[in-house]
Amino acid sequence: MKSNNVKLHRVLAAPVEKVFKAFTDADAMASWIPPYGFVCKVHSMEAKVGGRYKMSFINFSTGSSHSFGGEYLEIKPNEFIKYTDKFDDPNLPGEMITTIEMKTVICGTELNIIQEGIPEAIPTEMCYLGWQESLDKLKRLVEPNIPDA
């Protein structure tokens, strides 16, 4: 079965520590990872090498959902995260690998994401569109500088 890959690049006006936290904190992930029109429920998340996670995306309009999970393969705080993704739906077979590289740059954080092994049933352009929406939400989460009250 053929699989697909997507590559994304962004520069965020936020410190790398804040961007890293957005990828490793369950509440943060639930707020930005689902594309527009979906909500996310994080069932479990242990962001460490060998740790596992499980979450669901729920279509806000229809209530239908799909769940997925995986394992953290590599983590270097504020630099690198690599994890697996596997859908629970047997119609979306295979295991994806997502790699996130973060680098401090003069204006914030350079972010490079590669997702490999996307099931053939998911059109690559739809996956890319979903990631673009998620990264827009990530930007809106990490870029504001809100002082403590």
pTM here?
0.93
Average pLDDT across the chain, whole number: 94
How far out from the chain centre does Cα 19 lie? 11
Residue 2 has pLDDT above 90, yes or no: no
Residue with tokens 């806000």: 60
Task: Give the domain 3-142 fold.
Answer: Alpha-D-Glucose-1,6-Bisphosphate; Chain A, domain 4 (3.30.530)
Q: Which residue has the tokens 């069932």?
A: 43
Write down the pLDDT at residue 1: 45
* Structural domain spans, the chain: 3-142
DSSP structure string for 28-74: HHHHHSSPTTEEEEEEEE--STT-EEEEEEEETTT--EEEEEEEEEE
pLDDT tops 90 at residue 146:
no
What is the pLDDT, as a whole number, of residue 3? 61
